[in-house]
Amino acid sequence: MDLRRTRYLLGALLSWGASACHGTDGPASPCEGADCAVPGLTRAFEQGTPSSVVRPRTGFGGLKVRRASGRTFVLETTRDAEGRDTRRLTVSARDGTPLWRFDAAAGEFLSDFTVHPSGEITLGVERTGATAEAFDLVRLSVEGQVLSRQPLPAPATLPGSDLGGTLPSPAFRMKSPWVHALTDGWLRTEARGEDVAVAFLSLVAVPEGGPDTQELASGLMTLQWTDGRYREQWTRVVDGRHSTQPAAWAYDEFRWREAALRPLLAVDAEGQLVVGRTWNSSRCMASSRTFNDFTSVHCRSGEDVTSPVDTERQPFAVTAFTPVGTRIGTHVFVPTRTAEFVVFDMAVRGGEVALAGTVVTEDAEGTIAWYPSAPGMQDRMTPYDGYLGVWSLDSGALRFEHRVDTGRADHFSALRWTDAGLVAVGASGWDRWYGGMSISRGAGALLALASADGQTVRTQRPGPTGQDRHFHLLGVDADGDSLVAVGLAEAPMTHSGDGGHLEAMTFGGLGVELR
């Protein structure tokens, strides 16, 4: 029996012996009574049976979901057999009854949305045909009416010190490098009450008459909603001029390609803002030149720094800002004994940041526990585990981490921080050959709940399992004692579109509820 399967079986036996409740990873308290009666989401994971709904190809798949005020909001995408993709925001009642939707017009890319306490929505839109000033903010009423649409303003409050002598003024072209059907996009939105915070990744502005550039810079802007318009409060550079790009050969079934570039944004209850992103030597040097966060020597040789085109091992950095825009500092994180590591989502609460992604672990001798695709096979598959970790924004100290192993490859693509703990969703059961990035076996959906103290991780594997296609989840939200997740059904694998077979690159939608 190979090392990975031995480790999996031993972990399962230890988990079963520690608790009468099934589906846990790590120590758990014994249940009280035969029915394991516990409140909220914990009870749903222990006793609930997830329900799933599959939309056939070429239907809309879900990218992000939020529940608020008894309604469910989903950002959806589709791709037809000719390779054309489009997006929409749908809103439904708790029982699934459709209420209204906002469809992207031709030449529009819906990047992200956030729901305000009033029930109104801010939607981030990019006009893909524009060469500059392409980002728009759309404010929608509770009933879906457009209250305002305006370009994200050119920053007027950016401190000169943020330019660092390397960025022009204006610094940002307000235009993304590229987008595709599954990309979240480079414009991230988070509500601050009825106001909004926006993190963005932009091409660097080109002086009039100057040469074009594909270099990037990222920023953070807060805007106040007043008199039916958004007005800039403050703007800061997050990372100055850099050249981050995904490797050309990276696959994108689970958003590996965009993970290298994508900014993540969170706002905690006290108003502190946190921007997260993959860290590399180019972004490190930009931070070193402008903010003196790191030395140039560290940016070239530090263990927590990687190449700007690295796809497999991507250290993760977060930079925190006060509610009025003061830059607090940057922390970089990569787990110990890590051959590969990618973060796909983050959440912030109580001075801590939680990360969700995937990891390939080395033992003390640097050995990786490859596993065969089937008993008796001599091939070697890469042992990805779903990764969950929580660490301090102040010190960077790790409070807990879990590597979730359900037997084959696993990863988490979306995360929410709830009173019951961390809820994460993604994919499990797929195979990737150790010698390349191609996936050879399809995925099934994965749900997980990590307890608030980090002692227990409960998992569920709902819906269809993949063999020749993928079924996986890309968005999650939780509301009291229930969970809703969205993703893709019958999604393509690495080489599905080889030979120009665009119809094989279509997908359907996957919806999961657990209560």
E-assigned strand segments in 322-467:
327-333, 338-349, 352-361, 384-392, 398-404, 409-418, 421-432, 439-441, 444-451, 457-460
Rounded mean pLDDT of 363-382? 94
List phi, psi (to 5°) of 191. -70, 140
- Each residue's pLDDT tens digit, 240-267: 999 988 777 666 788 888 898 999 999 9
Rounded mean pLDDT of 479-505? 92
Rounded mean pLDDT of 492-508? 91
- pLDDT at residue 127 above 70? yes
Which DSSP state fits 204? B
| pTM recorded for the entire structure | 0.91
pLDDT band, very low/low/confident/very high, at 13 (cuts 50, 70, 90): very low
Residue 216 · residue 205 · CB < 8 Å = no
- Each residue's pLDDT tens digit, 143-196: 999 999 999 999 999 999 999 878 988 999 999 887 666 777 899 999 999 999
Q: Which residues pair with 125 in a beta bridge?
A: 110, 136
* Token representation of residue 358: 């995937």
Separation of alpha carbons 256 and 265, rounded Å = 18
- Each residue's pLDDT tens digit, 74-112: 999 999 999 899 999 999 998 899 999 999 999 999 999
- Each residue's pLDDT tens digit, 437-470: 889 999 999 999 999 999 999 999 998 988 899 9
Residue 484 · residue 72 · CB < 8 Å = yes
List phi, psi (to 5°) of 218. -125, 150
Helix spans in 321-471 (H): none
- pLDDT at residue 69 above 60? yes
Separation of alpha carbons 85 and 353, rounded Å = 33
